[in-house]
Amino acid sequence: MRRNELVVSPALRVSTLAILAAVTTVFTIFIRIPSPARGYFNLGDVAVAFTAFTFGPVSALIAGGVGTALADLVGSYVQWAPISLVVHGLEGLVIGLIARIRPDSAATCILAGAVGIIVMTVGYFAGGLLLTGMGPSLAEAPGNLVQAAAGVIIGLPLSIAVAKAYPPVRRYSW
């Protein structure tokens, strides 16, 4: 089977998205640091950034959004699920699109990460504005910024490490 046939296989796409979404959920659920306003800090952004750098923008959009929303549904933060679905999905999409321009360029990856951090912080600020008002949203913005930045700082080396340790991972990006 030729490589392009492998990539467009619907079964392979569904499998990739499902497992990456599950990875994102596990990263979000298993490591939680309680936060007063947002609920908790977690490694979900690490999974979103890793997916974006490794598998591309579409995978990051779907797996990042669904994974974090699923984590909110499973936890006691159900009301944040729609916001997580949109914000983390956009975060992954933006990082993946920018990183894809020049994947081997460090500057491009850093730019992608920076834009992703901004998208995540602004997105949760806007969502928090609707749910909790200006005060708590502003108070939580620095924490979200740190969480998103940590996600990119850990996610990019993780992507490089996984690609080096397991080269076939590159076949699953589109």
Partner 1 sequence: MAVDFYHPGTSRLHSFDARAKLILLVPAVACFFLPVPFWTQLPALAGFGLLIIFSLGVSELWKPLRAIGPVLILICVLTPPFTRNGVPLLSISGFPLVTSTGLQATLSTVTRFAGITLAFVAVFRSMEPEHLALALQWFGAPYTMALTFMLALRYIPSLGATWRNVQDAHKLRVAPRAPLGREPPGRPRSARALPARSPTRWRDSLPVLTSVLIQAVKGIPALAVALECRGFGRRAPRTSLLALKTGKGFAGDLIVCLIAAILLVAPPFLLRL
- Residues at the interface with partner 1 (CB under 8 A): 1, 5, 9-23, 25-26, 29-30, 36-37, 39, 43, 46, 50, 62, 66-67, 70, 73-79, 81, 130-136, 138-139, 154, 157-158, 161-162, 165-166, 168-169, 172
Compare residues 114 and 162 and give the one whose CB is closer to partner 1: 162
| Burial (CB count within 10 angstroms: exposed 0-12, middle 13-18, buried 19+), residue 12 | middle
CB of 164 to partner 1, least distance (A): 9
- The total of other beta-carbon atoms located within 10 Å of residue 78's CB is 11
CB of 88 to partner 1, least distance (A): 14
Compare residues 102 and 135 and give the one whose CB is closer to partner 1: 135
- Tokens representing 168 are 């076939």
User: H-helix or E-strand containing 39?
Assistant: strand 39-42
d(CA 120, CA 143): 11
CB of 159 to partner 1, least distance (A): 9
DSSP string for residues in 20-35 = HHHHHHHHHHHSEEEE
CB of 141 to partner 1, least distance (A): 12
